[in-house]
């Protein structure tokens, strides 16, 4: 919650509304800024500096060890009324994130889905008394996010944004990688 303070959040919204935008390939009401290396953009670098400690903590959950992380790319999403984002995942990264900059209509909360034919357990524990959450549900709708909030997720996880029924929704998205992974001496550097 509230990774970005109000001043940085407002500065980000102002910069994004004045930035060059590209139309989304599948929705006429979804626009993006170009994908950028945060090191080449002062605003993105300031946001990435706040994100990295959270990536380290999330990386411990994914890989069981504190690793050095780099936010390798960032972009913004401006979803107008009536727009949506189709189901997709992010390639060539391990962790992806969304930072919410404006309030979102409850109907367009981010939805995470396990892919059909996934590689997780075949047995499920779906009973009337079981609480469904991000790790046991086939489909998980993110709770409402407030401006400045950060959500991290494994990049392979499919997600979408249903049709926006409210005002313009602005987010910053990013992909991140660890500096290296080691499997019993077989080390891969990124």
pLDDT tens per residue across all 190 residues of the chain: 999 999 999 999 999 998 878 888 788 888 988 899 999 999 999 999 999 999 999 999 999 999 999 999 999 999 999 999 999 999 999 999 999 999 999 999 999 987 776 655 555 666 777 787 776 777 888 988 999 999 999 999 999 999 999 999 999 999 999 999 998 889 999 9
pLDDT, residue 26, reads: 81
pLDDT, residue 5, reads: 97
pLDDT, residue 23, reads: 84
pLDDT, residue 32, reads: 87
Q: What span, in angstroms and rounded, lies between the C-alpha atoms of 85 and 42?
A: 27
pLDDT, residue 8, reads: 97
pLDDT, residue 134, reads: 75
pLDDT, residue 135, reads: 66
Closest CA to 160 of 91, 90, 92, 102: 90
pLDDT, residue 122, reads: 54
pLDDT, residue 87, reads: 92
CB 93 within 8 A of CB 83: no
Q: Cβ neighbours of residue 132 under 8 Å, at least 6 residues apart?
A: 126, 140
pLDDT, residue 44, reads: 96
pLDDT, residue 117, reads: 67
Q: What span, in angstroms and rounded, lies between the C-alpha atoms of 172 and 31?
A: 12
pLDDT, residue 59, reads: 95
2 in the Ramachandran plot: left (φ > 0), alpha (ψ -120 to 50) or beta?
left
Closest CA to 100 of 28, 169, 47, 26: 169
pTM for the structure as a whole: 0.90
Beta strand 139-141 pairing with 111-113: antiparallel
Q: What span, in angstroms and rounded, lies between the C-alpha atoms of 53 and 177?
A: 13
Q: What span, in angstroms and rounded, lies between the C-alpha atoms of 81 and 29?
A: 7
Q: Residue 85, exposed/middle/buried by CB under 10 A (0-12, 13-18, 19+)?
A: buried
Beta strand 69-79 pairing with 30-32: antiparallel
Tell me, rounded to whole angstroms, the distance of Cα 92 from its chain centroid: 14
């Amino acid at each position: 919650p509230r990774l970005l303070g109000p001043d940085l959040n407002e500065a980000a919204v102002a910069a994004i509304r004045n930035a060059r935008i590209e139309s989304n390939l599948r929705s006429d009401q979804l626009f993006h800024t170009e994908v950028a290396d945060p090191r080449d953009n002062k605003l993105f670098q300031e946001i990435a500096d706040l994100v990295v400690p959270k990536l380290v903590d999330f990386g411990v959950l994914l890989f069981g060890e504190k690793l050095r992380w780099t936010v390798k790319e960032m972009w913004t999403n401006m979803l107008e009324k009536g727009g949506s984002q189709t189901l997709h995942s992010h390639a060539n990264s391990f962790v992806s994130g969304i930072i919410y900059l404006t309030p979102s209509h409850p109907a367009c909360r981010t939805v995470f889905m396990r892919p059909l034919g996934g590689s997780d357990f075949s047995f499920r524990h779906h009973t009337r008394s079981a609480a469904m959450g991000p790790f046991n549900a086939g489909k998980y709708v993110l709770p409402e996010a407030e401006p400045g909030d950060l959500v991290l997720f494994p990049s392979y996880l499919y997600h979408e944004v249903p049709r926006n029924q409210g005002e313009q929704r602005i987010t910053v998205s990013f992909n991140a990688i660890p500096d290296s992974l080691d499997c019993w001496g077989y080390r891969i550097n990124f």
